[in-house]
Amino acid sequence: MTAAPSIKTRDYWFDNAKALLIISVVVGHFATSSQINGQEWVNDIAKFIYFFHMPVFMMISGRFSRGRVDRKETEKAICQLLLPYGTLQLLMLLLNSFLGSTISAKSIFSPQFGLWYFLTLFLYIIITPYLKKWRFLFPAALLCAIGVFFLTDPLPYGLQRMVSFYPFFLAGYYTSSYSFSFCRKPWFRLLSVLILLGLFVFMQWKGTSVRTDLFTLKEVVWDIEGSGFWLSAEFVIHYILAFFCFFLIMGISPQKKMFFSYVGTHSVYAYGLHLFLIVFLRATMEPVSGRLAAVLWLLAGIPLTFLLTSPPVRWIFRPFLEPSSLWKKSEASSIPQPTSSPVHAGERDYWFDNAKAILIILVVMGHLSTGPVVQDQDWAHYLARFIYFFHMPVFMVISGRFSRGRVDRREYGKAFLSLLVPFVILQALLLLLRGALGLSVTFSHVIVPQYGSWYFPVLFLFLMITPLLRKFRFLLTAAVLVAAGCFFLADPLPVVLQRAVEFYPFFLFGYYLSDCSFSVCSKPWFRWISVLFFACLFLFFMIGNGRSIPTNLYTFEWVIWDLDRTEETLAFQYFTHYALSFVCFFMVMGLLPRRKVFFSYIGTHSLYVYGLHLFIAYTLRRLLPPISSVSLSFLYILLSVPLAFLLASPPVRRIFRPILEPKTLFDAWKEKKHSATKS
């Protein structure tokens, strides 16, 4: 008879400690809000709480991160910390925007109110496996933590707190194997109560001479009023006593399961959710007056903590704060078998069909959101900048991936029939349409690709030159350098050449990665990252600094001197665009299902949507008057979605196949000739 396996039980001692600490975090934020400014005794309570609550919290976090650090569980850290941080950061930006705050690039990349903890803990778990081998890591971290307080300015983007709190995390990490049995003794519990009570009395007695900013560990000495020497001494004393407070908190915490233990078990919910309530109340509530009202205001933090960790609230907000729970039950089977298996020869890869479907819809939407019809709608221009930022670069990467076979086999005839012949036909039809709309047609119009048709000759050119250039070892690097140099010419190259040079790195990127499965993009955690990435990018263009970036920068047909910006600014924006465009490919793939879905056929026949929508968009631009209504312009742009479905439908394809797929006529003629010869 085999013995039953031991079941790992929760350590309610630390759950109870976390419960007390998270309650103090919430009460501390209530105590520092503007609603009770001017009440000195409340400020003294805040100083008492800030003296120890986050240092002790960080030590407990370090203790329970030992396993993840030693096993280098980067993926788990991403799921449990980075994804919740990104989600809450996005929601906090939306809340601040709703409350009237301005969203900037710095605010996007700087942790919003209270969210620094998620990002800081994630960075600790990432860097500690590589730093722990250093023998003197802890004293070095302590010296750096104290040293950053003497910088001229605080470190940006939450780095100040990251450096300041790292000694506490390391203290918990290095002592994770200790039981701290002396903290469980009755005499130590009594001592802990007396010392904490003495600290509280001291803050009430001498609190006016102690600075709250000193305990947040986000300032530098020069930003706080007072003597530099005494402030330095207070920093050092704070660190020493904060380490000691860990033992005091453990001393007062019960060791068995209590009615409030679940608050500590689910402290991440209380921490993450109360921040939004605090921000909202600080912006909308009037200041409270009177001691009784202030007491009730502070005490409200306690039931609020219990509420935010209750089962109903956890059930609602679990996808935001515990996204790993969505796939934790069956990590191995979270991706359906058909999608995880490789695509065999002859089978369609619906994953890339889905990507092409979304991208071609964005192409149509981008063309409808630019031009005279919506010239009075600023939001449409911002939407166009968001779309133009990535849609064609990603399309080129996918084109390069699926052109690998034709390039390697040098199928020039097939490229001629499938790209150059359709281009000539479309060019002729677009010129006829131009004349029918009453516009002049000159020789320059004949030799320059008309509205949007440049894609066909550019892709044909790539298929022609790549078999000759691919033997060059540093082709991709050279292509990127040439593309960058082309942007600094005195005048832009002709449209086809300019865009060919600028888009060639994306085509090569897809060509060289054609054998990769990109399995990482199928992971649920990567899907969350993709959603957050595009949500932040969308916000940047719609309500952030992206609104000031010219759309022309993303069409790859201009040079620096044509745009109204300084050279340095435009060069930075250009190179940032290039780098992020490569990243966007993976993010787009991360968003999409790998199986066949209702819109997959649009991607399968994206050529029809691309070629035919040009005529519709061009006609609408010339005939429709400017739309002044926001709702009508929104419906006009939204027309791109059903239009894409229509243009990829079987009846439309049957009608326009001779124009866009003339190779099918050639193949039918060859087969008919072969049958006649055989008979």
**CA–CA gap between residue 244 and residue 89 (Å, rounded):** 33
**CA–CA gap between residue 238 and residue 232 (Å, rounded):** 10
Q: What letter does residue 178 receive in the DSSP assignment?
A: -
Biggest CA–CA distance in the chain, Å, is: 110
**CA–CA gap between residue 574 and residue 386 (Å, rounded):** 15
Backbone angles phi, psi at 246, to 5 degrees: -55, -45
**CA–CA gap between residue 595 and residue 167 (Å, rounded):** 48
On the 0-12 / 13-18 / 19+ scale of CB atoms within 10 A, 356 is: buried
Contact call for residues 167 and 230 (beta carbons, < 8 A): no
Place of tokens 């999409």: 592
Structure tokens at 96: 């601040």
Amino acid at 427: Q
Mean pLDDT by 10 residues, the chain (679 residues): 48 90 91 71 83 89 83 78 86 81 73 88 88 86 82 73 89 86 89 90 69 56 56 76 90 89 91 90 79 84 91 84 63 38 59 93 90 83 86 91 82 82 88 85 80 87 88 84 76 78 90 84 84 85 65 56 60 75 90 89 92 90 85 87 91 87 71 66
**CA–CA gap between residue 435 and residue 338 (Å, rounded):** 51
3-class SS string, 606-633: HHHHHHHHHHHHHHHHHHCCCCCCHHHH
Q: What letter does residue 583 receive in the DSSP assignment?
A: H
What confidence score (pLDDT) does residue 224 get?
53
| 3-class DSSP state of 514 | coil
What confidence score (pLDDT) does residue 311 get?
87
What confidence score (pLDDT) does residue 271 get?
94
Contact call for residues 602 and 646 (beta carbons, < 8 A): no
